[in-house]
Chain A
Amino acid sequence: MKEKLYEIVRWAAVAAAVVLLILLAGGERESDAALDDVTAAVVAQLDTSNVQPADNQMIKRLYGLQPSDYEGVCLYYPSSNMDAEELLIVKLQDAAQQQSVLDAVERRLQTQKNSFDGYGIEQFDLLENHSVVQAQGNYILFVVSARSEAAKQAFLDAL
């Protein structure tokens, strides 16, 4: 009886590890989706009247990221200094780039919060309570918008 129990527990542990690995691999798998398709799906959920598309120089200036280092980078940044809405989507070349992009996003968010802290109540609220940072496999999303949750869902669905 004890012998059987040992065998059952051994293989149950293996089965649990396999299930865990499958779940992890499924949750973090790399996406083949094109950056343009993902961006279009996310933009469709947002009001883009207060943002404008950025070129490579602006991406480097605002985030310190070199777009050529990545599979692709798409940024919509505020049209004026009085707006805080923003959208950044990065498709990574490899997983090792994830942390540096997340750090860059964190710095940008902090800079914006510092800019609006004390006088731009609505903008600060957007940055504080309606910003989303989502890393999923080889993609990273950063969005500041009243509809950030819908944008996040569209992002996940598009991958």
Chain B
Amino acid sequence: MAFNNLVFPFLLLPVSLLLCLAAPGPVKHWVMLLVSLVFFAWGSPVCVLLLACFLVFNYFTAGRIAQQLDADNARGAKITLITGVAVDLLLLGFYKYFGFLLGIFGAADKAPSLPVPIGISFFTFSTLSYLFDVYRGTVPNEDSFLNFSLYVSFFPKLVSGPIVPWHEFKAQLASHPVNKERLGSGARKFILGLAKKLLIADALGKSFYGLTALPQGQLSMLSAWLGALLYSLMLYFDFSGYSDMAIGLAELFGFRFQKNFDYPYLSTSITEFWRRWHISLGAWFRDYVYIPLGGSRAGTGKTIRNLLIVWLLTGIWHGANWTFIVWGLYYGLLLLLEKFVFKSLLEHLPAALKRILTLLLVGIGWVFFFSPSLGAALSWIGCMFGIHSAGLANGATLYYLGSSLLLLIVAVLGATPLPARLGGNLLRSPSAGAKIASVAWYAVLLILCIAAMVSATYSSFLYFQF
């Protein structure tokens, strides 16, 4: 189920919140697990059985690693870890890449059409981090199957993250008070995220999908850039909106998760962009791939190798398509150029110019992300530079620019800290008028979101596909 499905805010969320508040201490986590499983099962109930197998396997794998480490059997623990990771990756690979691999050999139609467990990429990565941490001894093995299951399947973060490390979750399991501060803060984040998705991302999507549906040969140079801009903003508001909702929902249940986005489009370099975009995924690859491979401490050659491996894996993680693989390598290459070739030159550029350069490079990167094939991506990028484009601009450019201009201005402002600063000032102000204005603002947003949910066709989150 998605958070923007009417059943969620009007039925599942209030019922589960009331049940959790009413449940006595030890039962609370069982209720949360049950709610998470209902949430998970909504689209395809049979997937719950698969999740149950996944949970049992990983719980006992971690337990077995801990047993072997206690018995000083390091080799046995390593083998258990390897089998555990292999099984998890095989399951993920089967769902995400089997059809792609068959397609390479011209047998895509032989791929079984199975219901895909929602959030499989995210809960697999959460679990892998737990297995690695237990093996390294940085966290103790968890005795409670309930706690482990809740960590993996906790519904706010289940579908699209953020990927919360086990130690952060565990630290809050013992005490996650639900008080009026957390309820208020959680509700504000949830409403803000919902508004980002329904009022901005979905609205930007109308113009973006209109542009992508233009017949071949009718895409002008400016239309191609406008499409890249619309998608850049749409993806940001869609995914950061989802993350805000997830973090807000977790807070309603007393848990506090780290932010997953930090105004990425203000970055002055690609390196900085990836510290601000999908922070939890970047941190996962840093902690469990890049650093174990030696990071940047093993000489230039190995640093280059490590960066390319990380970015190839990041691309593959996003999906089974050559477009994602090229997209990942594109970022690997950009980071290498930034780190080893243009470092001193970039240091001397004014910040505003660096921001614009970063935005342009990121916008080009998103073309690989939204294109259905590598050919389509290259064709679109070609149009951005005038190759086979329908001139500099045409009627379609003017139509889509005119119809989305106001929204683009709102979105650009919304991608900066300005609205949060204004909102924060209102909240912190001692004046009663400011507080009333703040409450009214969130109430209006909520009403607009409900209206959008009721009137519009359901629109999935872009990151659900990953």
Interface residues of A (CB under 8 A from B): 2-3, 6-7, 9-10, 12-14, 16-17, 20-21, 24-25, 28-30, 95, 137-138
Output the residue of A16, A24, A137, A138 with the most chain B CB within 10 A. A24
State how many angstroms separate the Cβ of B127 from the closest Cβ of chain A.
13
Asked if B63 contacts A21 (CB within 8 A), the reply is: no
The contact of B60 among A6, A20, A95, A137, by CB within 8 Å, is A6
User: At the interface, yes or no: B113 with Cβ under 8 Å from chain A?
Assistant: yes
User: At the interface, yes or no: B61 with Cβ under 8 Å from chain A?
Assistant: yes
State how many angstroms separate the Cβ of B81 from the closest Cβ of chain A.
12
Closest to A95 in B: B113
Asked if A6 contacts B53 (CB within 8 A), the reply is: no
Contacts of A137 in B (CB 8 A): 113
Contacts of A20 in B (CB 8 A): 46, 49-50, 53
Asked if B67 contacts A2 (CB within 8 A), the reply is: yes
State how many angstroms separate the Cβ of A105 from the closest Cβ of chain B.
17
Scan B302-346; emit 1 where CB is below 8 A from any A CB, else 0.
Answer: 000000000000000000000000000000000000000000000
Asked if A6 contacts B67 (CB within 8 A), the reply is: yes
State how many angstroms separate the Cβ of B67 from the closest Cβ of chain A.
6
Scan B269-284; emit 1 where CB is below 8 A from any A CB, else 0.
Answer: 0000000000000000
Asked if A24 contacts B53 (CB within 8 A), the reply is: no
Given contacts A24-B46, A28-B114, A29-B112, contact A7 B64 (CB under 8 A): yes
User: At the interface, yes or no: B91 with Cβ under 8 Å from chain A?
Assistant: yes
State how many angstroms separate the Cβ of A2 from the closest Cβ of chain B.
7
Asked if A17 contacts B63 (CB within 8 A), the reply is: no
Scan B42-67; emit 1 where CB is below 8 A from any A CB, else 0.
Answer: 00001001100110110011011001
Complex Cα spacing A29 to B87, Å: 23
User: At the interface, yes or no: B419 with Cβ under 8 Å from chain A?
Assistant: no
Scan B97-127; emit 1 where CB is below 8 A from any A CB, else 0.
Answer: 0000000000001001111000000000000
The contact of A24 among B56, B61, B67, B114, by CB within 8 Å, is B114
State how many angstroms separate the Cβ of A101 from the closest Cβ of chain B.
14
User: At the interface, yes or no: B94 with Cβ under 8 Å from chain A?
Assistant: yes
Closest to A15 in B: B53
Given contacts A3-B67, A17-B50, A17-B91, contact A28 B113 (CB under 8 A): yes
Given contacts A3-B64, A3-B67, A7-B64, contact A24 B115 (CB under 8 A): yes
State how many angstroms separate the Cβ of A16 from the closest Cβ of chain B.
5
A-B contact count (CB 8 A): 56
Complex Cα spacing A2 to B67, Å: 9
The contact of B56 among A13, A95, A138, by CB within 8 Å, is A13
Asked if B114 contacts A14 (CB within 8 A), the reply is: no
Contacts of B114 in A (CB 8 A): 21, 24-25, 28
Contacts of B64 in A (CB 8 A): 3, 6-7, 10
State how many angstroms separate the Cβ of B107 from the closest Cβ of chain A.
12
The contact of A10 among B46, B49, B60, by CB within 8 Å, is B60
Contacts of A30 in B (CB 8 A): 109, 112-113
State how many angstroms separate the Cβ of A20 from the closest Cβ of chain B.
6
Asked if A17 contacts B67 (CB within 8 A), the reply is: no
Complex Cα spacing A7 to B61, Å: 8
Complex Cα spacing A155 to B50, Å: 29
Inter-chain pairs besides A13-B54, A25-B114, A95-B113, 7 sampled, C-beta below 8 Å: A3-B67, A6-B67, A13-B57, A24-B46, A24-B112, A28-B112, A28-B115
Asked if B115 contacts A13 (CB within 8 A), the reply is: no
Asked if B53 contacts A17 (CB within 8 A), the reply is: yes
Closest to B83 in A: A10
Complex Cα spacing A20 to B60, Å: 20
Asked if A14 contacts B67 (CB within 8 A), the reply is: no
Interface residues of B in 55-101 (CB under 8 A from A): 56-57, 60-61, 63-64, 67, 87, 91, 94
Top 6 closest pairs, chain A to chain B, by CB: A25-B112, A13-B57, A17-B53, A13-B56, A95-B113, A6-B64
Output the residue of A10, A14, A24, A95 with the most chain B CB within 10 A. A10
Asked if A10 contacts B61 (CB within 8 A), the reply is: yes
Closest to B108 in A: A94
Given contacts A10-B60, A24-B46, contact A138 B54 (CB under 8 A): no
Closest to A18 in B: B53
Complex Cα spacing A9 to B126, Å: 21
29 A-B pairs, CB-CB below 8 angstroms?
A2-B67, A3-B67, A6-B67, A7-B64, A9-B60, A10-B56, A10-B60, A10-B61, A13-B53, A13-B60, A14-B87, A16-B53, A17-B50, A20-B46, A20-B53, A21-B114, A24-B46, A24-B112, A24-B115, A25-B112, A25-B114, A28-B112, A28-B114, A29-B112, A29-B113, A30-B109, A30-B112, A95-B113, A137-B113
Contacts of A2 in B (CB 8 A): 67
Closest to A98 in B: B113
Closest to A22 in B: B112
Asked if A17 contacts B113 (CB within 8 A), the reply is: no
The contact of B63 among A6, A14, A95, by CB within 8 Å, is A6
